[in-house]
Structure 1
């Protein structure tokens, strides 16, 4: 156990580094790191990940709030709408075979990598594709009926909540485009507001999992991991200020695909 606790420091530092450098998406590495490097079961890892994701989201909300990029009311509404999905996803996760859970997680990582690569290409085509696009979406959104818009928001919130509860991830790569499309936000505002959604979904999912099972949590491991991750976030912020964002995102997306393939090769044979 002592060796595992010591290993939590460099692993947590690396996860925090990815979080700080990318701003979103880095937490998706938490589950495979906890399983393959720190010896946790898939179900333990997804539960511990909820704490780490939630803490990172709260820290991010504070940073974005100071820059005026958080819409608290819509974020709270979106998060509360997704809370049902968080509860359902959390309960469903405990019923799934660990190897099936990991295989599904590998698929999620590939989807996240694809979304990140798509976003990484946008700066090369010009900033108008990013900021101007938000205004066009906002104009189109205003022409939709109130009912259609409400259905879209509820559906998106439910999917995000279910992903958070089931896999223990923030789901920012889903929340951000959902807020852009459903509410017409520009990308920066959608990112800041998405952290409110992620924090709520993580808290609800964690509460669901801890009912009657709090004693199974590895609290010392979690504490060390969080301390190291916070230090990593601070270092990651410095990295982000010196390296072009699209290069960081592309490199990280390639790493996600590699890790996903590794998980698939480890899990698939057990199911055949």
Structure 2
């Protein structure tokens, strides 16, 4: 199978996850780039950030048109995590790769359990705990995101469900705002690395991901919130199992 076909197929899956579930794009994009398309891990991380920034922004606009984004909550969640993310990134450089991989899997598994146990408050629903809780959750999210090196959507969704108390569909739209801002901030520190990317792979991957995100948004509007939560949680559990296994080998 040609690299172009693989890039288009992988991009469609990544976009579908981001558009429908508000996260999982970086978690899926990095291994797809490495194992399917033969991209070096460092370049895959940079390429993933580009793909996730553009795709999340496209998905965010689609959700925003339907009023499915809590702008203040998402901005506060992202802003509170900027400094912890930077500190987490500095710490990550001194940790063994196997430890980071195992930690990634454990956190993804814990997030999956949180999603499965989360209720679905009725729209519009009050923000639970107020700005202090949101900022605290954002700081913790930023720290974990910095250490693990992902956009953070797979953690932002359960955070918005459990700590903030948003309904699933609003959590998805708001998580896309957090992912866009977090990934853009991380990408600015890797600007020089973008010049060496294989754009024959990155461009079609990104284009397919954007189309997938729009399809994911339509899917989210047709599927019950409880079903979306289960899909997202099972996706996280699968990633968690693979990452823990990889870290143990």
Q: Which TM-score tier does this pair reach, normalised by the shorter chain? A: 0.7 to 0.9
Structure 1 Cα separation of the partners of residues 176 and 231 of structure 2: 23
Question: Aligned-pair distance for 1:161?
Answer: 2.1
Q: 2:177 aligns with which of 191, 196, 203?
A: 196
Corresponding position of 2:244: 264
Larger Rg: 1
Question: Aligned-pair distance for 1:183?
Answer: 6.0
Corresponding position of 1:49: 48
Matched length: 248
Question: Aligned-pair distance for 1:66?
Answer: 2.0
Q: Is the 8 A contact 1:42 1:101 kept in 2?
A: no
After the TM superposition, which residues 1-272 of structure 1 pair with which residues of structure 2 at under 5 Å, given as runs? 3-20=2-19, 22-27=20-25, 28-119=27-118, 122=119, 130-131=121-122, 134-135=125-126, 138=128, 141=129, 150=132, 152-176=133-157, 178-179=159-160, 188-210=169-191, 212-241=192-221, 243-269=223-249
Distance 1:35 1:237, change over 3 A: same
Greater CA drift, 178-187 or 217-226: 178-187
Q: Is the 8 A contact 2:7 2:204 kept in 1?
A: yes
Distance 1:261 1:29, change over 3 A: same
Q: Is the 8 A contact 1:113 1:256 kept in 2?
A: yes
Deviations 1:88-130 (A, max 9, x none): 33444444443333323222332232233234xx4xxxxxx51
Structure 2 Cα separation of the partners of residues 70 and 216 of structure 1: 35
TM-score (norm 1): 0.72
Structure 2 Cα separation of the partners of residues 251 and 191 of structure 1: 13
Structure 2 Cα separation of the partners of residues 131 and 194 of structure 1: 18
Structure 2 Cα separation of the partners of residues 75 and 233 of structure 1: 19
Distance 1:238 1:60, change over 3 A: closer
Q: List alignment gaps of at least 5 residues for structure 2.
A: none
DSSP-derived class of the 2:190 partner = helix
Question: Aligned-pair distance for 1:153?
Answer: 3.9
TM-score (norm 2): 0.78
Distance 1:171 1:92, change over 3 A: same
DSSP-derived class of the 2:67 partner = coil
Distance 1:265 1:94, change over 3 A: same
DSSP-derived class of the 2:122 partner = helix
Root-mean-square deviation (Å): 3.3
Q: List alignment gaps of at least 5 residues for structure 1.
A: 123-128, 143-148
Structure 2 Cα separation of the partners of residues 197 and 186 of structure 1: 16
